[in-house]
Structure 1
């Protein structure tokens, strides 16, 4: 993974949003974490972190956050009318907190692993809090390099969708879409099925970059 290229894409996104009058509230790229910090978190969680996630944590950043918002008066094409922001984030420190929240949803709302909807919440590791009760999570059924899936708490269309095959693929593809918002309705226009993942090379992605002025 070319981390300098990812940083350049982040700078391009920030510049493009500011040029159209949008707001950039936060750009955080903290230092990478140590192997010891990862081991401590794995012990606390009781699971091994996916290998591509650990690679990014150790080589790029252990705490990343970007928050941008489109201007209120920005006229949007109908296909992108649900897109209004980008809020990607991950943090090794907050990982246990996010996953405790996922477990609370299981205990209180989605306890039945035999239920088609409930089971999507099981055997996952939440790493990104959407902010509305939903999460981006690793599917820990693959204990080597877990796919990224969406957990919806209220029948969201993207519930159970595979967003990427692993964490590095997620960052590569998501960054080329300007890190559009975490809510499923913001990234669904860039998928073709529940297993396609977000596609940064499709026609919708090209139209989105052109509309937003993103040269990525």
Structure 2
């Protein structure tokens, strides 16, 4: 099933749960194939087919959110979620910022080694942000592997914590697994993944999964 329809189906299921606060899906007009190709050339990365189809045929971005309003229906760790799949233009701009940060941090590392800064330099040049969270964290495509990885926006300050944790094998795997847990946003993703990425059988999701399966 296409990304657009999967997200819409999840949103509809969540909205049937009267106790939840669920926003409408917000989107932007599709991008032309020429515009998308120009952005891909600029960042030296071709988006996966499913994302290209979404951007060209449905919407250049997808956003919705949900919140249990403090009720803890799905447990202490599954209180809110949603999806902020950013547009190709946003992706390009954010990736440019990340590359600038890498160059600035390289200069700092030449004077003094720091584990967090080294992690940023080693990875951010290869990570394409696709899902952005309010605090600046992101889910990214690692161009070296195709895996979806967790970007900590402050890794250079506190050192690696969730930095680089694998959420899925690729974008289609991410949407497939993450949709089964309602695009929930949990604080510590180490509790919700295994070696293959998001683990829908993890105890942290036990009260949420039945809503979608």
Using structure 2 for the length normalisation, give the TM-score: 0.76
Q: Distance in 2 between the 1:23 and 1:94 partners?
A: 27
Could you report, residue by residue, the CA deviation over 1:162-214 in whole angstroms, capped at 9, with x for unpaired residues? Answer: 11111111111111111112xx625443213xx4311234454343334xxx2
CA contact (8 A) 2:167 2:198 kept: yes
Q: Distance in 2 between the 1:156 and 1:14 partners?
A: 36
Where do 1:200-215 residues align within 5 Å? Answer: 200-210=200-210, 214-215=211-212
Decide which moves more: 86-95 or 26-35.
26-35
1:29: Cα distance to partner? 4.0
* 1:88 matches 2:92: no
Q: Distance in 1 between the 2:149 and 2:126 partners?
A: 11
Label 1:85 to 1:65 Cα distance change in 2 as closer, same or farther (>3 A).
Answer: same
Aligned to 2:45: 47
Could you report, residue by residue, the CA deviation over 1:123-156 in whole angstroms, capped at 9, with x for unpaired residues? Answer: 11122222323221110113xxx21111112346
Unaligned runs of 5+ in 1: none
Label 1:43 to 1:30 Cα distance change in 2 as closer, same or farther (>3 A).
Answer: same
Could you report, residue by residue, the CA deviation over 1:105-135 in whole angstroms, capped at 9, with x for unpaired residues? Answer: 32344766x9662313231112222232322
Q: Distance in 1 between the 2:28 and 2:196 partners?
A: 31
Where do 1:47-196 residues align within 5 Å? Answer: 47-72=45-70, 74-75=71-72, 80-90=75-85, 91-109=87-105, 117-118=119-120, 119-142=122-145, 146-152=146-152, 153-154=154-155, 155=159, 157-181=161-185, 185=187, 187-192=189-194, 195-196=195-196
